Chain A
Amino acid sequence: GESVGLHLPTLSVQEGDNSIINCAYSNSASDYFIWYKQESGKGPQFIIDIRSNMDKRQGQRVTVLLNKTVKHLSLQIAATQPGDSAVYFCAESLLTGNQFYFGTGTSLTVIP
């Protein structure tokens, strides 16, 4: 299977600061990447996605960056709020497949 890994299992940030969550992937053929947020007791919730023909995509307070050269994905959260505390997962899919591969997750804690 594919290797989709996160560099840090936990991250603590002060409220109002920016957060950066990183993800590495191993297969250069991966075409599509998604970031999910999972709150305690809930299923993963879609945050933002990016296709391999893009380097950057912005949403509301979130930005995803894709560096295909080093096979690296990051999620930036601006002005982090207590409601952003959750586990964040990256996932990738392959051009020829019907499967998503998930990373192990990073737990983000926002300190008021």
Chain B
Amino acid sequence: NAGVTQTPKFQVLKTGQSMTLQCAQDMNHEYMSWYRQDPGMGLRLIHYSVGAGITDQGEVPNGYNVSRSTTEDFPLRLLSAAPSQTSVYFCASSYDRQGTQPQHFGDGTRLSIL
């Protein structure tokens, strides 16, 4: 049972480069979200989706884009990486659209921007 799978696990980028963080879930969950985790700041919501074709901004959306073309996949794109985006990124999913069910998290992507 794979759950939420994130790739890659580690990535180093140079300032200005672009990349896509992949997230896939096999639980047929409607709700998916991306968080970033920085030391001493907990998890902050970047973007979320309540279903295929629907996305919305969270607390810290600047510098990130998302799309939700299928129920299973929710990629996060950095168009022009900046050192401030160095962080650990977590993808999560849950069955309930209204976020009133526990979220299942992937094991994260550790991203460093030089």
Chain A residue with Cβ nearest B3: A43
Option from A41, A42, A102 in Cβ contact (under 8 Å) with B43: A102
Interface size class of A (residues with CB under 8 A): 20 to 34
A105 to B97, CA, bound (A): 25
A4 to B44, CA, bound (A): 12
Scan A83-112; emit 1 where CB is below 8 A from any B CB, else 0.
Answer: 000000101010001111111110000000
Q: Taking the nearest CB of chain A, how far is it from the CB of B90, in angstroms?
A: 5
Given contacts A98-B56, A98-B99, contact A103 B105 (CB under 8 A): no
* Contact yes or no, B48 A103, CB < 8 A: no
Residues of B near A32 (CB, < 8 A) are: 99-100
Scan A29-51; emit 1 where CB is below 8 A from any B CB, else 0.
Answer: 00110101000011111100100
Option from B41, B97, B103 in Cβ contact (under 8 Å) with A100: B103
Interface size class of B (residues with CB under 8 A): 20 to 34
For residue B40, CB closer than 8 A to chain A, the reply is yes
Residues of A near B105 (CB, < 8 A) are: 36, 43-45
Given contacts A98-B31, A99-B45, A103-B42, contact A93 B90 (CB under 8 A): no
Option from B48, B97, B107 in Cβ contact (under 8 Å) with A43: B107
* Contact yes or no, B102 A46, CB < 8 A: yes
Given contacts A98-B48, A98-B50, A104-B41, contact A34 B31 (CB under 8 A): no
Given contacts A98-B98, A100-B103, contact A43 B45 (CB under 8 A): no
For residue B104, CB closer than 8 A to chain A, the reply is yes
Residues of A near B98 (CB, < 8 A) are: 93, 97-98
Q: Taking the nearest CB of chain B, how far is it from the CB of A56, in angstroms?
A: 18
| B residues neighboring A (CB under 8 Å) | 4, 31, 33, 35, 40-45, 48, 50, 56, 58-59, 90, 92, 97-100, 102-108
